[in-house]
């Protein structure tokens, strides 16, 4: 292969592929007009959380449960496939409560149906399955995935997609989840929040394992410095975690001195982030930042 073609292919691999997918970041923005369907609608988790979503006021318009198309559930239509559900309801988003053996296929079905936002709650999807999902995800820009193994996304008072209890929220929040192969990372969220005029401050909660927080710190250095920077407060879980152990999430491990909480905290602090040592002080810490910057 000639040098220039090889070079072009490498470039495409590295930046072009990712560039496609970053176009879908704007789909993270949900509001009271967002129409949501539920995959795994008639299952135990699907039913419970769909009822919660309806109680909250999210615009849930139907659900998918193969083989049960045509029936109604919770007063809403059930469809056999995501494609049919989209055609029948005009849905912009889907939330997936499908068990691990079938969850990756459910995500792919949603990507094929070109649903703009997919939130996958399921924990325990095999990594190999998610690698295949991600391969497909990165080469398109229509669908944005949050998760898997995440609590979801909420725009309080307007729309809640996921399992977080609604009543405690007063600000926008995205839970991206703890799996190593996921659809949305810190930088995706930061871009949205930094550009959103209604977002005044950002709280970033990270944990040991990988280098997503370090990457986020780099991004903040480049995009959130100077006069117009927004206050960012952070907590990194796992400072007391012993090295070489897996503390629950598939993505959380530290060993050999890398991926540890100390390094992440240092990286974030060097980007101007105020890091709280206590998870219970995040509210008060960002409040103090607002005070310091006379934003109150």
Partner 1 sequence: MAASMASQAAARGLRTSTSKHILLDKLKCTWLSPRRWLNLQEYQSKKLMQESGVAVQRFYVADTASEALDAAKRLNAKEIVLKAQILAGGRGKGVFDSGLKGGVHLTKDPAVVGELANKMLGYNLTTKQTPKDGVKVKTVMVAEALDISRETYFAILMDRSCNGPVMVGSPQGGMDIEEVAASTPELIFKEVIDIFQGVQDDQALRMAANLGFKGPLQRQAADQIKRLYDLFLKVDATQVEVNPLGETPEGQVVCFDAKINFDDNAEFRQKAVFAMDDMTESDPTETEAAKWDLKYIGLDGNIACFVNGAGLAMATCDIIDLHGGKPANFLDLGGGVKERQVYEAFKLLTADPKVEAILVNIFGGIVNCAIIANGITKACRELELKVPLVVRLEGTNVHEAKRILTESGLPITAAENLDDAAKKAVAAIKK
| 138 binding partner 1? (CB under 8 A) | yes
Q: How far is the CB of 172 from partner 1 (least distance, A)?
A: 17
DSSP state of 242: P
Residue 285 is assigned to a ligand binding site: no
Cα–Cα distance for residue pair 163/150, rounded to 1 Å: 9
Q: How far is the CB of 63 from partner 1 (least distance, A)?
A: 17
With CB under 8 A as the contact rule, the residue among 64, 159, 216, 241 that binds partner 1 is: 241
Cα–Cα distance for residue pair 4/31, rounded to 1 Å: 45
Cα–Cα distance for residue pair 168/162, rounded to 1 Å: 14
Q: Which of residues 50-89 bind partner 1 (CB under 8 A)?
A: none
Cα–Cα distance for residue pair 219/216, rounded to 1 Å: 5
Nearer to partner 1, 191 or 263 (CB): 263
| 45 binding partner 1? (CB under 8 A) | yes
Q: What is the largest CA-CA distance in the chain?
A: 61
223 in catalytic set: no
Residue 200 is assigned to a ligand binding site: no
Residue 42 is assigned to a ligand binding site: yes
| 101 binding partner 1? (CB under 8 A) | yes
Beta bridge partners of 173: 154
Nearer to partner 1, 69 or 266 (CB): 266
> What do you get for the CA distance between the two ends of the chain, in Å?
60
Whether the Cβ atoms of residue 103 and residue 148 lie closer than 8 Å to each other: yes
Whether the Cβ atoms of residue 272 and residue 220 lie closer than 8 Å to each other: yes
Nearer to partner 1, 77 or 259 (CB): 259
Query: How far from 190 is each of 24, 132, 194, 201, CA to CA, in Å?
Result: 14, 26, 6, 11
Give, for 102, the enclosing helix (H) or strand (E): helix 100-112
Whose CA is closest to 193, among 158, 153, 237? 153
Site string for partner 1, 112-131 (x = CB under 8 A): ---------xxxxxxxx--x
Residue 240 is assigned to a ligand binding site: no
| 47 binding partner 1? (CB under 8 A) | no
Residue 45 is assigned to a ligand binding site: yes
Residue 47 is assigned to a ligand binding site: no
Q: Which of residues 156-215 bind partner 1 (CB under 8 A)?
A: 162-165, 168, 178, 180-181, 205, 207-211
Active site residues: 249
Query: Where do contacts with partner 1 occur on this chain (CB under 8 A)?
Result: 45, 49, 99-101, 121-128, 131-132, 134-135, 138, 151, 162-165, 168, 178, 180-181, 205, 207-211, 235, 237-242, 244-253, 255-259, 277-281
């Amino acid at each position: 292969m000639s040098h220039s073609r090889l070079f072009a292919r490498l470039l495409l691999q590295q930046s072009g592929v990712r560039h496609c997918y970053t176009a879908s970041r704007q789909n993270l923005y949900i509001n009271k007009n967002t129409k949501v369907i539920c995959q795994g609608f008639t299952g135990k988790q699907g039913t419970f959380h769909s009822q919660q979503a309806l109680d909250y006021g999210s615009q849930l318009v139907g659900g998918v449960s193969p083989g049960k198309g045509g029936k109604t559930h919770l007063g809403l239509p059930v469809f056999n496939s995501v494609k049919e559900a989209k055609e029948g309801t005009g849905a912009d988003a889907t939330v997936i409560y499908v068990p691990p053996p079938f969850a990756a296929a459910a995500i792919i079905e949603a990507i094929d149906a070109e649903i703009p936002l997919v939130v996958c709650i399921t924990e325990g999807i095999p990594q190999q399955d998610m690698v295949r999902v991600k391969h497909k995800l990165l080469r398109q820009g229509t669908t944005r995935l949050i998760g898997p193994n995440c609590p979801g996304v909420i725009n309080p008072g307007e729309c809640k997609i996921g399992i977080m209890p609604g009543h405690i929220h007063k600000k926008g929040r995205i839970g991206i989840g703890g799996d190593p192969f996921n659809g949305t990372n810190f930088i995706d969220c930061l871009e949205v929040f930094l550009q959103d005029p209604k977002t005044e401050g950002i709280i970033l909660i990270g944990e040991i394992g990988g280098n997503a927080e370090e990457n986020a710190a780099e991004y903040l250095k480049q995009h959130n410095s100077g006069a117009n920077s927004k206050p960012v407060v952070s907590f990194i879980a796992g400072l007391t975690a012993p090295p070489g152990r897996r503390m629950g999430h598939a993505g959380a491990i530290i060993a050999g001195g890398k991926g540890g909480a100390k390094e992440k905290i240092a990286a974030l602090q060097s980007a101007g982030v105020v890091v709280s040592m206590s998870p219970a002080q995040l509210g008060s810490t960002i409040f103090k930042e607002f005070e310091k910057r006379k934003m109150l």
